A and B are shown apart, each in its own frame.
Chain A
Amino acid sequence: MEATIETKLTAKDFVTDQEVRWCPGCGDYSILKQVQTVMPELGLKQEEIVFVSGIGCSSRFPYYMETFGMHSIHGRATAIASGLKASRPDLSVWIVTGDGDSLSIGGNHFIHLLRRNFDVNVLLFNNEIYGLTKGQYSPASPTGKVTKSSPMGSVDHAFNPLALALGADSTFIARSMDRDPVHLRGILKRAHAHKGTSLVEIYQNCNIFNDGVFEVFTEKATKKLNTLFVEQGKPLVFGENADKGIKLDGFKPVVVNIADVSANDLWIHDETDRVKASILVRFFDSPKTENALPRPFGIFYQEDRFCYEDSMNAQIEDAIKAKGKGDLDALIRGKNTWTI
């Protein structure tokens, strides 16, 4: 037998010949880089990967990935991916979407994808703004946001994307950011490893229309005080010198000085605890408010649940077992015929 040499894929293999056309300084560049870096580590063949996107800045993503890809229409990537995965469970399907694409025009498909739990990955680039249409408030923009379409401030109440996902019974909920490549790569790998719909919200800076909106979470000077990186089995700790922690007072999370409490009093992160996840996704205070809880990053929640495509195929197999493989003549003929 002839020996085949499997050349190991590198990040470069996932770069296309297309010129990347995001604005210079856009957070998307980093996300693209991390995705391309992680891909060779996932043990996938290049040809079995598909990136599907909708419309928006982030949705140009598939054109830059040397895999199969589809740049579709606004809000529908989730539905397209559902059909693709239903017909081709063998593929590794990645959805790239933005806060407008997935939470506004595609809101319906988004929640239904999550409840059905197709084994796909959703990368939700959240920049809290419509970038491609040049700066209108999105469903993720906070109330009062002044934009071209809200000169006196938006009167919309913003979505909390991860709380929405949990409400839709998502089986994998995570948050990361464009400015933390190591963390993002780690989350991407876990998203891939999860069997079911993996939702990864990625805070992404739009340096043209919403510059610095996540700055307090991403920049060195403020990051430690305002972010909380959660890890399985570890206490919820943050602060300049990891000196603060979260304690649950009943169902109410309270910020404590670690020095003041015993280590056992701190909230220990458990990805499989749905009740705690429902509290954690609500760590959503504006960092500007007094006594704001830090914004969590990491994997909030993970559960194993049957995937839609598996159940769909199981029914087909059961039907074949019970009735035998369908015979076209028998179908067309039916039960009642007469001959003349």
Chain B
Amino acid sequence: MKSTTEVKNAVVILFAGDSGDGIQLTGSQFTTTTALYGNDVSTFPNYPAEIRAPQGTIAGVSGFQLHFGSEKIYTAGDASDVLVVMNAAALKANLKQLKPGGIIIANTDGFDAKNLKLAKYPDGVNPLQDGSLEKFIVHEIDVTKLVRVALADSGLGTKEIDRSKNMFVLGFIYWMYNRKLDNTIEFIKEQFKKRPDLIDTNIKVLKVGYNYGDTIEAPMNRFEVKPAPVEKGTYRSIMGNQATAYGLVAAAQKSGLTLFLGSYPITPATDILHELAKYKNYGVKTFQAEDEIAAITSSIGAAFGGALAVTTSSGPGIALKGEAIGLALMLELPLVIINVQRGGPSTGLPTKTEQADLLQAMYGRNGESPVAIVAAYSPSSCFDMAFEACRLALEFMTPVFLLTDGYIANGSEPWKFPAAADLKDLKVSFAKNELKEGEKYLPYKRNERLSRPWAIPGTKGLEHRIGGIEKENETGNISYDPENHEFMVKLRQAKIDKIADYVPLQTIDQGKEKGKLLVLGWGSTYGSIKTAVKEALAEGYDVSHAHVKYLNPFPKNLGEVLKSFDKVLIPEMNNGQLIKIIRDKYFVDAKGLNKIKGMPFTSAEIKEKIKELI
């Protein structure tokens, strides 16, 4: 039967299967191909904490959601149009995410008695056969069988043959959306350089999947999603953690410093360590420390020596670093601390996303210990904000927090990347010995930013001692004087407050400068809020969106911005954290919208709240 082609503005596909099914790879391949084609795209990988959770179970389901379109895309999508399931558990776990009338592509081999049992369907129930999926369009494909037939003569064992099932699915989806196979073929060649036999078999299965669409004798629609009218320029696809790593390398090159990363493996931050470990030819030094404390303290040592020092972690690791962050702010050394937030508290939800470490970054230390905080809001913005965190650390000789989270760290989007030459110059000058005869060096003498000089070991005549004990201003000598302590506490606060003079003013992302409702967000909620506000505006609602990137200190005009609206709504993936700080600082009776499910907001959830408040 001939297939027809339907034009779509945007599509959400959710690939789901066992964590060993190669779902993440399938998803990321489709993402790259569709981005290369010119669609705007946003992705959300969602995988279990266990590397190999029991096969076939709901706990072992790995998902990769991607949203692409011929229009601007800001989120990985609320509900999906297409659900690709490799087994029964994947269907059970994700069915409620599928739009009515949506398409299910099911690998029938994953719905045998064993898989149905593992997915905890009652005895004798097979959702593919009991009519329960009536409101959806179901395409059953025996992927396993087709792949085994295709590779019968390959000489590979069944286990290895079955491993290429994901290529069949990918090929089939390429057919559905009329995409070329070139990019994935190149990828396969690169990936299996050391196993040439697997190159041919994987390419074969990919093509078999594609051709299956052409030859199948069933009514099956194909879809056309035209390129998006995005800004002219050259793009690439980027993931958040990758962008963070690039931002750090860029800051190191622009400052002329050696990048030193002290880190301890922790989900979902580890990919930054992996990424930076690759860039040794950029002079990057990565140190996999024995624990989180050594990760940050080795960075402090490197900062003392004159390196651009960074430590990366996630919530529980940041908790362990608390004392050392206090040391860094007492020493007044530049240090970037990156928290790729995940669900907490304690071990919490390691692979799920949350924004619940803002108050930890703000207040989670002993004593009066202010540090600067910036937050990324999309995968590509991790580059800009990592670069900014470095800039502030170097300009103000202070620890700076960069908050990202699992959603943007693992999510990806097209990125109109900058040219190195267009990035800000971060050139730093270490203190030089300009002392007159008999003059003592003052390691804590401050400039107009209240920042002290960076006098690194090796500079003759500037030998000095610094430490965590309260010190006298300018000399840095130990001081227990009560007046001095109060003075120094206020001074360290004033220094952080001063940063507000050196960061951009708060802007309105969408909507009017004054009005009924402002949706104020921070971090990874950007895309959902953006989409929700865009739709609400189109429906005639008086709503605006502002997204805070500088969380400590806030931009100087934030108070004015807030007071220009009758109501303020603060959606957060926590139990209400930014809202506490905003209420405290500006006496604004902001309303919260809180989601603490380890999942990003859907734009529908935010839109609903907007409508409720207006």
Contact = CB atoms under 8 A, between A and B. Distances in A.
B300 A82 contact: no
Interface string A59-74: 0001101111111110
A2 B28 CA distance: 65
Nearest to B232: A340
Interface stretch (B79-87, B246-254, B547-555, B575-583): B246-254
B264 to A, nearest CB: 11
B457 A87 contact: no
Contacts of A336: 32, 36, 183, 236-237
B608 interface: no
A79 B260 CA distance: 14
Interface of A: 16-18, 45-50, 52, 62-63, 65-73, 76, 79-88, 90-91, 108-109, 112, 312, 315-316, 318-320, 322-326, 328-329, 331-334, 336-340
A50 B457 contact: yes
Given A69-B466, A84-B305, A88-B306, A79 B289 contact: yes
Interface string B400-435: 000000000000000001111000000000000000
Dominant SS among interface residues on chain B: mixed
Contact of B234 (A63, A108, A320, A338): A338
B293 A79 contact: yes
Contact of B304 (A16, A84, A331): A84
Interface string B439-463: 0100000000000000011111111
A114 to B, nearest CB: 11
Interface string B229-253: 0111111110000000010011001
B298 A312 contact: no
B301 A52 contact: yes
Interface of B: 32, 35-38, 183, 227, 230-237, 246, 249-250, 253, 258, 260, 262, 279-283, 285, 287, 289-291, 293-294, 297-302, 304-307, 309, 323-324, 326-327, 331, 383, 417-420, 440, 456-469, 477-478
B281 A316 contact: yes
A80 B417 contact: no
Contact of A79 (B236, B249, B294): B294
Contacts, number: 205
Given A69-B465, A70-B466, A332-B418, A338 B36 contact: yes
B304 A70 contact: yes
Given A83-B309, A86-B285, A88-B306, A73 B327 contact: yes
A340 B230 contact: yes
B300 A83 contact: yes
A116 B307 CA distance: 20
A87 B463 contact: no
B302 A83 contact: yes
Contact of A315 (B253, B258, B280): B280
A328 B290 CA distance: 30
B420 A328 contact: yes
A48 B458 contact: yes
Contact of B285 (A47, A87, A90, A326): A87
A315 B282 CA distance: 11
Contacts of B237: 336
B468 A331 contact: no
A330 to B, nearest CB: 9
A67 to B, nearest CB: 5
B537 to A, nearest CB: 26
A331 B249 contact: yes
A18 B477 contact: yes
Q: Which 4 A-B pairs have the closest CB atoms?
A: A83-B298, A71-B467, A83-B301, A326-B282
Given A332-B250, A332-B420, A86 B287 contact: yes
Contacts of A316: 280-281, 283, 285
Contact of A90 (B236, B458, B460, B465): B458
Contact of A331 (B246, B287, B302): B246
Contacts of B230: 340
Contacts of B293: 76, 79, 109
A9 to B, nearest CB: 12
7 contacts: A48-B458, A79-B298, A80-B300, A83-B300, A316-B285, A328-B253, A332-B418
B304 A80 contact: yes
Given A48-B457, A108-B290, 16 more contacts: A71-B467, A72-B297, A72-B327, A73-B468, A76-B324, A79-B301, A83-B262, A83-B298, A84-B305, A86-B287, A87-B307, A88-B457, A88-B458, A112-B294, A316-B285, A338-B37
A79 B321 CA distance: 13
Contacts of A334: 236
Contacts of A66: 463
A56 to B, nearest CB: 13
B302 A109 contact: no
A323 B468 contact: no
B179 to A, nearest CB: 13
